[in-house]
Amino acid sequence: MAEKQRVLIVDDDANIAELISLYLMKECYETKIVYDGEEALRVFPDFKPNIILLDLMLPGIDGYQVCRELRASSQVPIIMLSAKGEIFDKVLGLELGADDYMMKPFDSKELVARVKAVLRRYQAAPAPAAPQTEQKGDYVEYPDLIVNLTNYSVIYMGHSIEMPPKELELLYFLASSPNQVFTREQLLDHIWGYEYIGDTRTVDVHIKRLREKIKDHESWALTTVWGIGYKFEVKR
């Protein structure tokens, strides 16, 4: 029998946490509830969750700080939950490394669907393989850069680069159509699809993360086309 996937629920509202746990257990997930950020960081290494549902407004260490500390050592997927709906809060959460952001109150069925969608993306992306000289499957190759969608690996300047699935898919999509300009809306549609309900700043956040890991090359660059969107520019 396949091992149940584990969900760590971090929320100081016991009623909401129990309700989330109930719906996820009905979908055959194993859940664990903690009520503050310190406890979340303490139980994380032993529980080894496949995904974390993280409330932002926690006593003590808030959800932003929990996310920041987890991202220092782990790529475990995180969905942030918050009653704060300002664009700034969403963008900050995504910049810190969250994979999705849901507003309270939320529909329980939508939450379960988001959990499944995020887990599908991560399950499709094994850990980066060691650099290889021979590539197989769907990949694009430029000087000092290979993006392989088959084994979800990125080799940059001869080294494997840790990259969450959506960052890699965005890089691959742009690099697969060199010098073609895509609007933020087009990128949202192609990369996140119907499962994602978000704003176009999500794309900006992911481009920013990519630029922190992949610097512009003399032969190519991730270029902003002001007022329109982005392109993978190949320099002639």
Query: Does 185 share its domain with 220?
Result: yes
Query: Does 118 share its domain with 194?
Result: no
Query: Does 88 share its domain with 166?
Result: no
Tell me the CB-side half-sphere exposure of residue 41, using CA atoms within 13 A: 17
The pLDDT of residue 85 is 64
User: E strands of the chain, at which residues?
Assistant: 6-10, 30-34, 51-55, 78-82, 100-103, 139-142, 145-148, 153-156, 159-160, 182-183, 220-225, 229-234
The pLDDT of residue 128 is 47
User: What is the CATH classification number for the domain harbouring 65?
Assistant: 3.40.50.2300
User: What is the CATH classification number for the domain harbouring 169?
Assistant: 1.10.10.10
Query: Does 21 share its domain with 109?
Result: yes
Task: Answer with the one of 123, 147, 164 that is the final residue of a domain.
Answer: 123
pLDDT in tens, 172-221: 999 999 999 999 888 888 887 755 555 678 888 889 989 999 999 999 99
Q: 102 near 114, Cβ under 8 Å?
A: yes
- Tell me the whole-structure pTM to 2 decimals: 0.62
The pLDDT of residue 219 is 92
The DSSP output letter for 28 is: T
Query: Does 144 share its domain with 228?
Result: yes
Question: Is 133 domain-assigned?
Answer: no
Q: In terms of Cα–Cα distance, which of 211, 38, 63 is closest to 203? A: 211
Question: Is 134 domain-assigned?
Answer: no
Query: Does 83 share its domain with 143?
Result: no
Number of domains in the chain: 2
Question: Is 115 domain-assigned?
Answer: yes
Which residue positions in the chain have pLDDT lower than 70? 1-2, 85-88, 123-137, 194-199
Query: Does 47 share its domain with 115?
Result: yes
Identify whether 105 is preceded by a cis peptide bond (ω within 30 of 0).
yes
Query: Does 37 share its domain with 116?
Result: yes
Query: What is the residue range of 223's domain?
Result: 139-234
Query: Does 156 share its domain with 118?
Result: no
The pLDDT of residue 136 is 54
Q: 208 near 95, Cβ under 8 Å?
A: yes
Query: Does 44 share its domain with 102?
Result: yes
The pLDDT of residue 170 is 92
Q: Is 160 helix (H, G, I), strand (E, B) or coil?
A: strand
The pLDDT of residue 145 is 93
